[in-house]
Structure 1
């Protein structure tokens, strides 16, 4: 059986669809515990971002973020679960973000990851994340500064993080697919 995987030493190409919605795929008990928790704060302007960061003990972060299917950036304390930040709904992106103040005012995202084991978004989420940061008046680094590659093993069904381009399941050592396959598309 031929496995769809990238050449050794290369990364899988991002999906063509830049705004795929991701559903929560993490532990049910985490999702259940997040029910009723306040969602992340929506941030749609530079003024809202500055005000939110001004209320944080460490304005640099990192913070938990999600981008809802409405394209809005939501921010929460780093200890917050992504599913709580998203209000339980699907997302276009999720991870952690850190900010720095910019000379002359405003903020810039200096660290942006897709590290969310609850949603496991593909690295192809970047265009939606970049658009949400821009809508929030924040500059950004032009790409994920920590790109996490998630794959669901077709052998055992577990979700693995691909490290150093090694597309092998950490649970059963089966080959992992080259393309993101963690959950079916959101309808």
Structure 2
């Protein structure tokens, strides 16, 4: 069974969910193209489109505008993975240029790639073999700040306390 991640980000962001509508699951190539077209029509920035994504607990992909929080994309529900996907247009079709697990609201581990791979396999789209970049997150046991680990530096960016070696973002203290 795949690990589920609950929202661990700031409560004030979660409080904004009242006015948000969850995206529809993207389960087919046609559904994916439709969602991309909706987003590119609204935010036409060129041949690349970066979106917020979540994989819901049923294993379905949901994509939203990049400026929308992951917790809003998931309506506050648990996820199997979350991050950002960059789509690129080539020969009148899209492929996935890059996928990351960058979500400080859910802090999914790189191992959540398994859920992403399973969801994308159904969509008949070319995509990378793993998260690039893949991020690790840790909650500081001293000040409770969530930290994005860079260069294997396990020191809290706020209070400079050593961070745990293992994922602990769901711990509050």
| TM-score, normalised by the number of residues in structure 1 | 0.82
| TM-score, normalised by the number of residues in structure 2 | 0.88
Query: SS of 2:12's equivalent?
Result: helix
Which residue of structure 2 lines up, in the alignment, with residue 25 of structure 1? Answer: 8
Find 2:31's aligned residue among 37, 48, 56.
48
Please state which structure has a larger fraction of its residues in helix: 2
Give, in whole Å, the separation in 2 of the partners of 1:98 and 1:72.
18
Which residue of structure 2 lines up, in the alignment, with residue 134 of structure 1? Answer: 121
Q: How big is the alpha-carbon RMSD for the aligned residues of Structure 1 and Structure 2? A: 1.7
Counting only pairs closer than 5 Å after superposition, residues 80-159 of structure 1 correspond to structure 2 as: 80-101=68-89, 103=91, 106-159=93-146
Unaligned runs of 5+ in 1: 1-16
Unaligned runs of 5+ in 2: none
For these two proteins, the number of residue pairs brought into alignment is 166
Q: CA deviation at 1:156?
A: 2.2
CA contact under 8 A between 1:155 and 1:174: conserved in structure 2?
A: yes
Q: CA deviation at 1:154?
A: 1.8
Higher RCO (C-alpha under 8 Å, 6+ residues apart): 1
Shifted more, 64-73 versus 115-124: the winner is 115-124
1:160 correspondence with 2:153: no
